[in-house]
Amino acid sequence: MNVKTLVICLYVMLIYWLSLHVSFLDTLFFPTIGAFSFLFLSRPFTNRELAKVVLGAVVTSLIGLLLVSLYASAITLFINVVIAIWLIRKFKWNAPPIAAIALMPFFSHSPHLWAIPISVTIVLLGLMGVLYVAGLVESKFGQRLELLAGRSKAAGERDIAS
């Protein structure tokens, strides 16, 4: 397991713990964090792409909040999904979990629905920050961490020239 994966798992655990133990942070944890975590781990993103993904998640959560506040029904849910998918395609956000974020206001039973867009922003910015720091640690101490984990290459597997 590499540093980024371990750090992300710890981050998701922390967010879950906070949402369970601090009543007004109940909207902080949402299952899509796992999907965003895997997405951010699975391929490299530029800072601009990451910013677009976070912006897309915040925008769709705001739209979902607006629609559920107007009238919580299957019709507004349908409209919400159509708008979210249209925005994802139009702005090439390339992050399917954004569509799930749009649905959060419809399935959240929190009395603090207004906190959903704030929670999405905080959690995703936190995820980006954690990934950035984990990347720095990995690039600076990666070889040493592999040695500590016992994953060093045997003498025959090493490139003698390196």
**pLDDT tens digits for range 38-74:** 998 888 888 889 899 999 999 999 999 999 999 999 9
The CA distance from 86 to 80, in Å, is 10
Instruction: Specify the number of domains making up the chain.
Output: 1
Q: Does residue 161 lie within any of the structural domains?
A: no
Q: Does residue 137 lie within any of the structural domains?
A: yes
The CA distance from 85 to 98, in Å, is 9
Question: Whole domain around residue 89: which residue ranges?
Answer: 3-145
Q: Does residue 94 lie within any of the structural domains?
A: yes
- pLDDT for 162 equals 44
Please tell me the least confidently modeled range out of 57-61, 76-80, 90-94: 90-94
The sign of the torsion formed by the CA atoms of 94, 16, 18, 15 equals negative
- pLDDT for 160 equals 47
